[in-house]
C-alpha cells in the first residue's frame, strides 16, 4: 500500500469513471506499477512535477508518495475532478489540479524549476506534446526531464540509431538535445481497458545545450526533407533546399548517394552548419 486512499477500482466505482475512448482513456490501476513509473522519473524530492492526464489519479498518487515537492495535474475530463480532489485533501498543499487541455497550458505560470514532466497520455496527444517540449523557442526548456508512456513502436522510434528502420525525425529531434532511454515496457493487460498495442515508458533528460551546434530551423528542414523521401539519395531528396547541395554534402563528409537513414546526428548537424555559411 502506498497511501491510505481507497484502491483505484473502488475510486472508479464510487465516481463512475468508466474509461471513455473519446478521451483516450486506458487507466493504470496497480499502484505498485504507478509508483515504479514515478521512480523512473528520478528523485522527485525538491522538484515540481507536471502531470498531464491524471485520470483517476493512480500515477498522481505514485508521484506524491514518492515525495514530489508539488504536483500540478492537468485533466481534460471533468468527471475525474472529485476523485482528484480526494487526493489533494490527503496531501495538503502538494497537489494542484487544473481542469483543461494540456495543449493550452503555460507550465511556468504554475510550476517552479526544477520541473519534471510525467504522464501516461493518449498516444496522439503524447507525440504532439513531445514535439512541442523538444522544440521550444529557447533552449534549455522549462523541464529537466520527461517521463512519458508511449506506444512501444513510437518509443522505439525515439531511441532509434542510424541504419535502422525506426530511425528518423523523432530520433534526431530528441537525441540532438536530450538523452532518451526506455525504462519500462508494459503489455496491454497492464491497462484498464487494455489498448491494442504494447507500451513503453521513456525517460528523457535534457542536455544543457545541443550535442552539436546547428540552427534548429535549418536542421529541422533538412531532416524533414531527407526523411520525407527516405528511399531517395540525399542529393535528390535535398535538392530543393540548396542549389549547391552536392558539394555541401561532400564538404560535410556525407556521400551524396547516401540515404537519410544512414546519416548520424553529428553529420546532419555538420550539414546544417554548412548550409548556414554564405555561398
Q: Does 24 bind ligand SAM (CB under 6 A)?
A: yes
Q: Does 74 bind ligand SAM (CB under 6 A)?
A: yes
Q: Does 25 bind ligand SAM (CB under 6 A)?
A: yes
Task: Among 44, 48, 50, 53, indicate the residue that binds ligand SAM (CB under 6 A).
Answer: 53
Task: Among 48, 77, 144, 261, indicate the residue that binds ligand SAM (CB under 6 A).
Answer: 77
Three-class DSSP category at 88: helix
Q: How far is the CB of 30 from ligand SAM (least distance, A)?
A: 10
Q: Which of residues 80-139 bind ligand SAM (CB under 6 A)?
A: 80, 101-103, 120-122, 125
Q: Does 55 bind ligand SAM (CB under 6 A)?
A: yes
Q: Does 189 bind ligand SAM (CB under 6 A)?
A: no
Beta carbons of 259 and 162 less than 8 angstroms apart: no
What is the distance between the alpha carbons of residues 271 and 108, in angstroms, rounded to a whole number? 35
Task: Among 41, 52, 180, 225, indicate the residue that binds ligand SAM (CB under 6 A).
Answer: 52
**CB burial of residue 267 (10 Å; 0-12, 13-18, 19+):** middle
Question: Distance between the two ends of the chain, CA-based, in angstroms?
Answer: 65
What is the distance between the alpha carbons of residues 48 and 143, in angstroms, rounded to a whole number? 10
Q: Does 49 bind ligand SAM (CB under 6 A)?
A: no
Grid cell of 54 as nine digits: 491524471
- Residue tagged 482513456 (cell numbers): 25
Q: Which of 9, 161 has the CB closer to ligand SAM?
A: 9
Q: Does 59 bind ligand SAM (CB under 6 A)?
A: yes
Q: Which of 74, 272 has the CB closer to ligand SAM?
A: 74
Residue 100 backbone class (left: φ over 0; alpha: ψ -120 to 50; beta: rest): left
Amino acid at each position: 500500500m502506498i497511501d491510505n486512499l481507497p484502491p483505484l477500482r473502488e475510486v472508479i466505482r464510487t465516481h463512475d469513471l468508466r474509461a471513455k475512448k473519446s478521451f483516450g482513456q486506458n487507466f493504470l490501476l496497480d499502484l505498485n506499477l504507478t509508483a515504479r513509473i514515478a521512480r523512473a522519473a528520478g528523485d522527485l524530492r525538491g522538484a515540481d512535477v507536471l502531470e498531464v492526464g491524471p485520470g483517476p489519479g493512480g500515477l498522481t498518487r505514485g508521484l506524491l508518495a514518492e515525495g514530489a515537492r508539488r504536483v500540478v495535474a492537468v485533466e481534460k475530463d471533468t468527471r475525474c475532478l472529485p476523485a482528484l480532489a480526494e487526493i489533494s485533501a490527503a496531501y495538503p498543499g502538494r497537489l494542484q489540479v487544473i481542469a483543461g487541455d494540456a495543449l493550452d497550458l503555460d507550465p511556468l505560470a504554475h510550476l517552479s524549476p526544477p520541473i519534471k514532466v510525467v504522464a501516461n497520455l493518449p498516444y496522439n496527444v503524447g507525440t504532439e506534446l513531445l514535439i512541442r517540449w523538444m522544440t521550444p523557442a529557447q533552449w534549455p526548456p522549462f523541464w529537466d526531464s520527461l517521463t512519458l508512456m508511449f506506444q512501444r513502436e513510437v518509443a522505439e522510434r525515439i531511441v532509434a540509431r542510424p541504419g535502422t528502420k525506426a530511425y528518423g525525425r523523432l530520433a534526431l529531434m530528441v537525441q540532438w538535445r536530450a538523452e532518451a532511454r526506455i525504462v519500462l515496457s508494459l503489455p496491454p493487460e497492464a491497462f484498464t481497458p487494455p489498448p491494442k498495442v504494447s507500451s513503453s515508458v521513456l525517460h528523457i533528460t535534457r542536455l544543457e545545450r545541443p550535442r552539436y551546434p546547428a540552427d534548429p530551423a535549418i536542421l529541422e528542414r533538412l531532416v524533414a526533407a531527407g526523411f520525407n523521401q527516405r528511399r531517395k539519395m540525399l542529393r535528390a531528396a535535398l535538392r530543393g533546399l540548396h542549389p549547391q547541395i552536392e558539394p555541401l554534402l561532400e564538404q560535410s563528409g556525407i556521400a551524396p548517394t547516401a540515404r537519410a537513414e544512414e546519416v548520424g546526428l553529428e553529420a546532419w548537424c555538420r550539414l546544417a552548419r554548412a548550409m548556414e555559411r554564405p555561398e
